[in-house]
Amino acid sequence: MTEEYALRCVLMLCCALLSANASNWLYLAKLSSLGSIRDEETCERLRGLIQRQVQICKRSVEVMDAVRRGAQLAIDECQFQFRNRRWNCSTLETMPVFGKVVTQGTREAAFVYAISAASVAFAVTRACSSGELEKCGCDHNVHGSSPEGFQWSGCSDNIAYGVAFSQSFVDVRERSKGQSSSRALMNLHNNEAGRKAVLSHMRVECKCHGVSGSCEVKTCWKAMPPFRKVGNVIKEKFDGATEVEQRKVGSSKVLVPRNSQFKPHTDEDLVYLEPSPDFCEHDPRTPGMLGTVGRQCNRTSKAIDGCELMCCGRGFQTQEVEVVDRCSCKFHWCCYVKCKQCRKMVEMHTCR
Ligand SMILES: *[C@@H]1O[C@H](CO)[C@@H](O)[C@H](O)[C@H]1NC(C)=O
Ligand SMILES: *[C@@H]1O[C@H](CO)[C@@H](O)[C@H](O)[C@H]1NC(C)=O
């Protein structure tokens, strides 16, 4: 083997490994030292973007700070939703930020893709509403009076813009031609399910106008749910996710439940291809596989946060730790609440 050939093999292997992960753009959340993403030149230097995302970046530089906030939002929400699970959504300082956990077609990967696609739609829409973007603003299709007798007014969130941007930016790798692997189908489905979690929980918020809140005139606008709500919805979908496999129907490929007894999944459900590992032990060869040694657990819970399941049968240690709490709070006229600090001892259990 010539040296050049060997080098090319290594490069190709690296490319294959890198491109095997369509969620590398989440690495944007780690680039806080970069400052604002202001010019096209910066787009070239953003690690984690594939070439077509760099092109989108250049076309829509002003949206990129929102995309980066979206990446951070996705990571934070994942860590919140998984705080009591064996895999707790820890990030690495390298790509992919969740390590090997998202390179396999597991339920955890399904969650990560869904929450990421949702978070970009959410953060971009928020940026539109706040007036920081020239390309979009409030949703002006929402106006006039409603059948319920209120006036549409104020800034309705332009979720259509955020969703469209998320589709073009987040899905770009899977939408390119030749990507009809079962994994690409899985990612696309879960991305779409994530965005649906925002879309189908849009709400109407209103304000009353009139003498002393009499509500003679009511004005309302469409608003996104809080992102925590989106996280809760996607976590529920994670709990009920469907294991699927690829099937050929006519000339196209689709994902169908592996167990034909199960009812087919809907557009809003999460799907996955492979069972998850047990996440019990630290595996230095598998980035992101931290294991559960040292994790806190709940002695009385029978669920996954309970010491039995969390510690994978290895047992746990108990320590007395002092916690400082606010207590005997008193309301003072007017208007503040004053509390004392109380110290108390609580038992804390950690996995062996
Ligand atoms: C997840 O658990 C590991 C221990 O296994 C801990 O070091 C890490 O800080 C936790 N991460 C988060 C985000 O809670
Ligand atoms: C531990 O689990 C029990 C039963 O699920 C629950 O009632 C309790 O609030 C949990 N304790 C903590 C500290 O989370």
Looking at all shown ligands, the one closest to residue 280's CA atom is 1
**272 with 349, same domain?**
no
Contact 98, 29 (CB under 8 A): no
- Report which protein residue has its CA nearest ligand 2's atom 4: 301
Q: How many CA atoms lie less than 13 Å away from 315 in the CB half-sphere?
A: 2
Q: What is the atom index within ligand 1 of the atom nearest the CA of 290?
A: 5
Tokens 């919140």 correspond to 80
Residue 307 belongs to a domain with what CATH number? 3.30.2460.20
Is 126 close to ligand 1, i.e. is its CB under 6 Å away?
A: no
Looking at all shown ligands, the one closest to residue 309's CA atom is 2
**304 with 162, same domain?**
no
The answer to whether position 350 is within a domain reads: yes
Is 90 close to ligand 1, i.e. is its CB under 6 Å away?
A: yes
Tokens 């000339």 correspond to 251
Q: What is the atom index within ligand 2 of the atom nearest the CA of 303?
A: 5
**62 with 168, same domain?**
yes
Strand-pair category, 242-249 with 271-272? parallel
The answer to whether position 112 is within a domain reads: yes
In angstroms, what is the span from residue 309 Cα to ligand 2's centroid? 14
Looking at all shown ligands, the one closest to residue 83's CA atom is 1
- Report which protein residue has its CA nearest ligand 1's atom 5: 292
In angstroms, what is the span from residue 135 Cα to ligand 2's centroid? 48
Six token digits for residue 352: 């062996």
Tell me the residue range of the domain where 262 lies: 3-137+155-201+225-280
Q: What is the atom index within ligand 1 of the atom nearest the CA of 89?
A: 13
Q: How many CA atoms lie less than 13 Å away from 275 in the CB half-sphere?
A: 3
The answer to whether position 310 is within a domain reads: yes
Find, among 35, 112, 55, 73, the residue nearest to 270 by Cα: 112
**334 with 231, same domain?**
no
**57 with 95, same domain?**
yes
**111 with 231, same domain?**
yes
**257 with 305, same domain?**
no
Strand-pair category, 217-223 with 203-209? antiparallel
Looking at all shown ligands, the one closest to residue 81's CA atom is 1
Looking at all shown ligands, the one closest to residue 304's CA atom is 2
- Report which protein residue has its CA nearest ligand 2's atom 12: 298
pLDDT in tens, the chain (352 residues): 445 544 444 444 444 444 447 788 898 988 877 778 888 888 988 888 999 999 999 999 999 999 999 999 999 999 999 999 999 999 998 888 898 888 899 999 999 999 999 999 999 999 999 999 999 999 988 889 988 889 999 899 999 999 999 999 999 988 876 557 899 999 999 999 999 999 999 999 999 888 877 888 889 999 999 999 999 999 999 999 999 999 998 988 999 999 988 888 999 999 999 999 999 999 999 889 999 999 999 999 999 999 999 999 999 999 999 999 888 899 988 889 999 999 999 999 999 9
Q: What is the pLDDT of residue 2?
A: 46
**193 with 241, same domain?**
yes
In angstroms, what is the span from residue 301 Cα to ligand 2's centroid? 6
- Ligand 2, CB cutoff 6 Å, lining residues: 298, 300-301
The answer to whether position 216 is within a domain reads: no
The answer to whether position 8 is within a domain reads: yes
How many domains does the chain contain in total?
Answer: 2
Q: What is the pLDDT of residue 315?
A: 96
The answer to whether position 214 is within a domain reads: no
Is 295 close to ligand 1, i.e. is its CB under 6 Å away?
A: yes
Contact 335, 329 (CB under 8 A): no
In a mutational test of the pocket of ligand 2, which residue from 84, 298, 307 has the highest number of ligand atoms less than 8 Å from its CB? Answer: 298
Q: Judge if pTM exceeds 0.85.
A: yes
Burial track 93-122 (b if 16+ CB lie within 10 A, e otherwise): eebbbbbbbbbbbbbbbbbbbbbbbbbbbb
- Our CA dihedral for 38, 44, 49, 52, rounded to 10 degrees, sits at 100
- Report which protein residue has its CA nearest ligand 2's atom 3: 301
**272 with 297, same domain?**
no
Q: Is 86 helix (H, G, I), strand (E, B) or coil?
A: coil
In angstroms, what is the span from residue 197 Cα to ligand 1's centroid? 27
In angstroms, what is the span from residue 13 Cα to ligand 1's centroid? 31
In angstroms, what is the span from residue 313 Cα to ligand 1's centroid? 19
Measured in whole angstroms, the distance separating CA 72 from the mean position of its chain's CA atoms is 9
**120 with 260, same domain?**
yes
Which one of 280, 302, 319 terminates a domain? 280
**133 with 253, same domain?**
yes
Q: What is the pLDDT of residue 199?
A: 97
Six token digits for residue 9: 């093999």
Which one of 280, 311, 344 terminates a domain? 280
The answer to whether position 272 is within a domain reads: yes
Q: What is the pLDDT of residue 15?
A: 40
**260 with 296, same domain?**
no
The answer to whether position 63 is within a domain reads: yes
